[in-house]
Amino acid sequence: MNTTTSIDLRAMTQEDWPEVARIYAEGLETGNATFQQTVPTWEEWNSGHIQSCRLIASVGKTVAGWAALSSVSSRPVYAGVAEVSVYIRKNFRGRGVGNRLMQNLIEASEKAGFWTLQSSIFRENEASIKLHEKYDFRTVGYREKVGKMNGIWRDTVIMERRSKVIGVD
């Protein structure tokens, strides 16, 4: 596949879960995608992600990646703040899938009224950091030794993006 291959986007449904879970598992294998050690069940994943902002990217008939938002708090004051997840199938990384997902996730988030998107990214996940920077996320800090993974303390980079159309008044 090259970057000129068509990448189709659509809303994620429960029927997509087997492919979403496979891609999530590939992210786990990298050791740099999440502190999570196992793929959650659909029920666990579904309850933790915002219904209106879930995307699937396909190349031909292959699900190449997915993106979704999670609430950061149940407190009303944070209703417009969400955390970003973008996962790309191993053999589609570096081929524009992440760009299409991020661009469309931002658009969907603004239509849904989100004014701030944030991400907590392992320092070693340079590709994810670069993707976020490309879409105007800025580094707002670091969390040192925020959690252990396989007995090793891990640091994360905290990045956020403020909407230029929602919450600007």
Q: pLDDT per residue over 64-107, tens digit each?
A: 999 999 999 999 999 999 999 999 999 999 999 999 999 999 99
Query: Residue 36: what pLDDT?
Result: 84
The reported pTM is: 0.91
Go through 113-151 and write b for each residue having 16 or more CB atoms within 10 A of its CB, e for each that does not. ebbbbbbbbbeebeebbebbeebebeeeeeeeeeeeeee
Q: pLDDT per residue over 116-159, tens digit each?
A: 999 999 999 999 999 999 999 999 999 999 898 889 899 999 99
Nearest alpha-carbon partner for 129 in 84, 72, 89: 84
Domains of the chain: 8-119 (3.40.630.30)
Q: Which two tokens stand for residue 88?
A: 């790309």
